Amino acid sequence: MPATSNPLEKYAWLSIAAALGTIILKTLAWWLTGSVGLLSDALESTVNLAAALLALTMLRLAASPPDAKHPHGFSKAEYLAAGIEGALIVLAAAGIIASAVPRLIEPRELQAPVVGLGLTVLASAINLACAILLIRVGRREHSITLEAGGKHLMADVWTSAGVLVGVALVFATGWLRLDPLVALAVAAHVVWTGIGLVRRSASGLLDAAISHADQDEISKLLAEYSRRYGISFHAIRTRQAGARRFITFHMLVPDAWTVAHAHHLSEEIESRIRSLVPNATVLTHIEPISDPASYDDQELDR
């Protein structure tokens, strides 16, 4: 089905623009200096561009409404974006290593280091501003795609800082092997970042529970209703899919209650949970509290 426009897309477009700008600046810095460290930095920025394009695609897909084949929607598409981005980062690290090892064996003089460093500083400033914005919006809107993109850009900022220090030290000390050594250190950091994104993506695709803070809020609310109405709850299960949260539980009520009474109270509880947990879909199963069969289905499988 066609993807639907997502209000968060504008941030993905901003990330694309930032990636294009930094690629141009960092490639020019490498071309002027011949630094393999700066080349590694430019290669990572190409991954930023690929990740931003992927994020745009996945944000559109995640915003698509549910259909007959996907009744729970497409919000997990954001985890695909984070996982693929992690894999791309690892590939970029391989390219960095391939460029650094020959230079470690046969060091070369750097050219125009001051100009190269200046261009890299400008590119890093662009990345820093974009990273702060993406992380802030991603957390506010519960978008793992934007947050992952922001953290990737922030990692790129730290990578650039390391490269800048390396090139500056080469210029100051004349020790040419510092340049490829810094590039290898950058590669190690990039691999660590990529693995972290892949692990987080896998956790989401495996239906990880919602945050402990949100679970605690739900527990407090259910305990309140248990005290007030003499009811109980079990089989409380949660999962997160991108910005969406899914919460299910069984509500055990006195046998004498009417269906209407139990339903009215469950609607009230579900409404309060939705007010506590953003983007939550809540489903309640009502059971008689004194029926032994009500306690046979507390596990995932009856």
Residue 264: what pLDDT? 96
**58 and 196 in a common domain:** yes
How many domains does the structure of the chain reveal? 2
* Domain-embedded: residue 246: yes
Q: Are residues 180 and 217 part of one domain?
A: no
For 180-233, the pLDDT digits (tens) are 787 788 778 778 877 877 887 777 777 788 889 999 999 999 999 999 999 999
Residue 130 lies in a domain: yes
Question: What's the pLDDT score for residue 302?
Answer: 60
Asked whether residue 48 carries a pLDDT value surpassing 90, the answer given is no
- Report the distance separating Cα 249 and Cα 32, nearest Å: 62
pLDDT at 242: 72
Residue 1 lies in a domain: no
Residue 272 lies in a domain: yes
Residue 71 forms part of a structural domain? yes
Tell me, yes or no, whether 74 and 189 share the same domain. Answer: yes
Q: Does residue 32 belong to any structural domain of this protein?
A: yes
Tell me: do 171 and 48 sit in the same domain: yes
pLDDT of residue 284: 96
- 100 and 231 together in one domain: no
Query: What is the CATH classification number for the domain harbouring 226?
Result: 3.30.70.1350
Give 236's pLDDT tier (boundaries 50, 70, 90).
very high
Residue 251 has pLDDT above 70, yes or no: yes
pLDDT tens readout for residues 105-126: 777 665 555 677 788 788 888 9
Say yes or no: 149 and 265 in one domain. no
The percent of residues above 70 in pLDDT, for the chain, comes to: 89
Task: Look at 112 and 165; give whichever has higher pLDDT.
Answer: 165
C-alpha–C-alpha distance, residues 165 and 35, integer Å: 12
Residues 201, 217 within the same domain: no
Quick one: pLDDT at residue 257?
95
User: Are residues 168 and 78 part of one domain?
Assistant: yes
Q: Are 287 and 223 in contact (CB under 8 A)?
A: no
Q: Give the pLDDT confidence score for residue 37 in this predicted structure.
A: 64
Q: What is the mean pLDDT of residues 267-289?
A: 94
CATH of the domain at 148: 1.20.1510.10
Calpha distance 245→162 (Å, rounded): 39
Q: 133 and 68 share a domain? A: yes
Give me the pLDDT at residue 22, please.
Answer: 85
Domain with 194, as residue range(s), is 9-205
SS (H, E, C) the chain: CCCCCCCCHHHHHHHHHHHHHHHHHHHHHHHHHCCHHHHHHHHHHHHHHHHHHHHHHHHHHHCCCCCCCCCCCCCCHHHHHHHHHHHHHHHHHHHHHHHHHHHHHCCCCCCCHHHHHHHHHHHHHHHHHHHHHHHHHHHHHCCHHHHHHHHHHHHHHHHHHHHHHHHHHHHHHCCCCHHHHHHHHHHHHHHHHHHHHHHHHHHHHCCCCCCHHHHHHHHHHHHHHHHHHCCEEEEEEEEEECCEEEEEEEEEECCCCCHHHHHHHHHHHHHHHHHHCCCEEEEEEEEECCCHHHHCCCCCCC
Last residue of a domain, one of 205, 224, 245: 205
Averaged pLDDT of the chain: 81
Same domain, 157 and 57: yes
Instruction: For residues 128 and 39, state if they share a domain.
Output: yes
pTM score: 0.60
Of 189, 205, 221, which residue sits at a domain end?
Answer: 205
Chain mean position to CA 231: 38
Residue type at position 216: D
Task: Look at residue 29 and tell me if it is in a domain.
Answer: yes
Residue that finishes a domain, picked among 170, 205, 240: 205
Quick one: 113 and 248 in the same domain? no
Higher pLDDT: 294 or 76? It is 294
Give φ, ψ of 280 to 5 degrees.
-95, 135
Closest by CA to 61, choosing from 52, 69, 73, 50, is: 73
Residue 234 has pLDDT above 80, yes or no: yes
Q: Say yes or no to pLDDT of 2 above 50.
A: no
pLDDT at 4 over 60: no
